[in-house]
A and B are shown apart, each in its own frame.
Chain A
Amino acid sequence: MRRLLPWDYGVRNLFRRPSRSALTLGGLSIVILLVLVVVGFIRGLEASLAATGQPNVVLVYAMTSGADIENSAIPGRTPALLAASVAGVRSQFGEKFISPELYLGTRISVNDQEGLGLVRGVTTAAPLVRQQVQIIEGTWPGPGEVLAGRLVHSKLGCDEAALQPGQTIRFDGRDWKISGVFAAGGAAFESEVWCPLNDLQSALKRQDLSLVAVTMDSADAAADVDLFCRERIDLELKSVGEMAYYADLQKHYRPVRMLGWIVVCLVAGSGVFAGLNTMYGAVVGRIRELATLQAIGYRRRAILLTLIQEATLLACCGALIACLLGLLFVNGTAVRFTMGAFMLRVDSVGIAIACITAVILGIVGALPPAAKAMRLPVVEAIKAI
């Protein structure tokens, strides 16, 4: 009584019908690649918002602006008041980590092509507070210059080359020369244009600020900023931890993420049906062969296992191909969304989900046709055409 079919038998079977195997492999690879793209979208969105917030950074903005910093207007003296009144603000070499910022959404023209972009007026204190920011090309902006995030081209829907140092963009009635390009570790800042605060205030004829970002010595010290805002009600300020702010934004995107996961399930489900269809075809064409195996002494369970082995191997190869394609062509692709732009991420979680999906596709796709083939009596099956 033989127990299991040799491992090689299942592998060799895949090469006996190369066209059918190649087609099934292609179908499975596409299904898994789709899963990977959707998971990459969800992971990219989550990572973008998560990377933007830091635990010891507090945002101070207008009490009446709701949760929208773009609508916020606070007195220009707020940074000085915070520096003088709040203990626990991080400082280095006498420089306090307090970044006054003016933030707005505006139309930006690049080579006569106009798009809705995000502009942040900053001072040299901004990199102290936004420590993810790194200039990857060019220099910090001087008067009349801007620093472009590396995903601004995606947000504006223009060519990346048009936003290289030396190029000119136009917004709020002024031309601005690009002095450099920055990255921010996947944070939402990467889809923003940064310019000197004074220049932006002059261009907009505004003296107020949108927000002040403050780095505290510890996350616990953020309460002192809150206390300041509650005491100085004449300033009409409120404070929120940067992580809490972006966690709140994540809630707005929960329906999008839920939809993403539903799409993952639907794509995987359609993959199972496609796999079932292919496997039914594959098994029906091999009924005599399977019956012969039974006749020479192999148990039904052993034959069932070899069929699952074939399908799972094919699905796993599909997962490998999909992951390689994903890493080469999907990972890092910029996607535009309301808050800016973010990059699709094919990370370990996405790959794990793709591999698990492949295994499920292999097992679930092979079981019903294999079980059906095994139910036929051996004598009848051997006579099958």
Chain B
Amino acid sequence: MKSSLYVAALASALSLSVGCGSPASTTPVSSAATTSAVVNGEKYLLAEEPDDAVGVIEARETASNGDPLVVVGRIGGSDKPWVEGRAAFMLLDASMAVVAEGTESAEGEVCMGDCCANERAECTTLVKVVDNGALVPADSRQLLGVKENDFVVIRGKASKDESGNFTVLADGVFIRR
């Protein structure tokens, strides 16, 4: 009986010592993460499709900084077209299609690999939904109810810098269903 009690005592001591000695996680607890604000997205959704929409490629070439413009395209052009928790997404020119990395791309196609990074950059743009010039702090999927490959028409302004970086600052989005 004694020997079995010793065994039990040893087992308890061992498990306790290991439990107490386990190294604490080195990952610091992040401060309360500021979650995306709950914003009503209806005011950014257009009931009617705006006229005179141009493609992404044309917009990149012709628009100047601050020009009002209407751009049509498909949400995509990146393996992750969404910016998490922000009303921003990548828009792909409607005439282009994206194929998987390693796939031979035909005319009007770009692949997701590094080899097509420059071509992809020329036919895609970042769209930021802004309110009084500030980016709306809500995920576009929740804000606008959009999903990847949706055809959208964006109304907004061009933002272009000296290095050629082009962004659309949207104040209205029409979703073609």
Contacts and interface: CB of A to CB of B under 8 A. Distances in A.
Nearest to B166: A233
Contacts of B28: 54, 131
B39 interface: no
B19 interface: yes
B126 A218 contact: no
B132 interface: no
A219 B30 contact: yes
B40 interface: no
B146 interface: no
A251 interface: no
A51 interface: yes
B33 A320 contact: no
Contacts of A222: 84
A186 B28 CA distance: 14
Contact of A230 (B23, B35, B90): B90
Contacts of A7: 1, 4
Contact of A234 (B7, B11, B85, B163): B163
Contacts of A327: 18
Given A230-B90, A230-B126, A348 B15 contact: yes
Contacts of A346: 18
Interface string A300-329: 000000000000010011001001100100
Contact of B7 (A56, A185, A217, A320): A320
Contact of A11 (B3, B22, B31, B167): B3
A209 interface: no
Contacts of B19: 348
Contacts of A320: 7, 10-11, 14
Contacts of B102: none
Contacts of A234: 163-165
B33 A226 contact: no
Nearest to A243: B27
Nearest to A63: B117
A223 B86 contact: yes
Given A217-B31, A320-B10, A226 B26 contact: no
Chain B: number of interface residues, binned into ranges? 35 or more
Nearest to A51: B26
Chain A: number of interface residues, binned into ranges? 35 or more
A227 B88 contact: yes
Given A66-B114, A233-B165, A313 B14 contact: no
B162 to A, nearest CB: 9
Contact of B11 (A55, A221, A316, A348): A316
Interface in B8-26: 10-11, 14-15, 18-19, 22-23, 25-26
A317 B23 contact: no
Given A51-B27, A66-B114, A218-B34, A11 B11 contact: no
A351 B18 contact: yes
B105 interface: no
B65 interface: no
B8 to A, nearest CB: 9
23 contacts: A7-B1, A7-B4, A11-B3, A51-B25, A54-B27, A56-B31, A185-B26, A217-B31, A218-B31, A223-B85, A227-B83, A227-B86, A230-B83, A230-B90, A231-B167, A233-B165, A313-B4, A313-B7, A316-B11, A324-B14, A348-B15, A348-B18, A348-B19
Kindly list the 6 A-B residue pairs having the minimum CB-CB distance in the complex, ordered from nearest. Answer: A185-B26, A234-B163, A64-B114, A132-B26, A218-B33, A220-B33
Given A56-B30, A66-B114, A320-B7, 11 more contacts: A8-B1, A55-B27, A63-B114, A219-B30, A226-B83, A227-B128, A320-B10, A323-B18, A324-B14, A347-B22, A355-B15
Interface of A: 7-8, 11, 50-51, 53-56, 63-64, 66, 131-132, 184-187, 217-224, 226-227, 230-234, 236, 313, 316-317, 320, 323-324, 327, 346-348, 351, 355
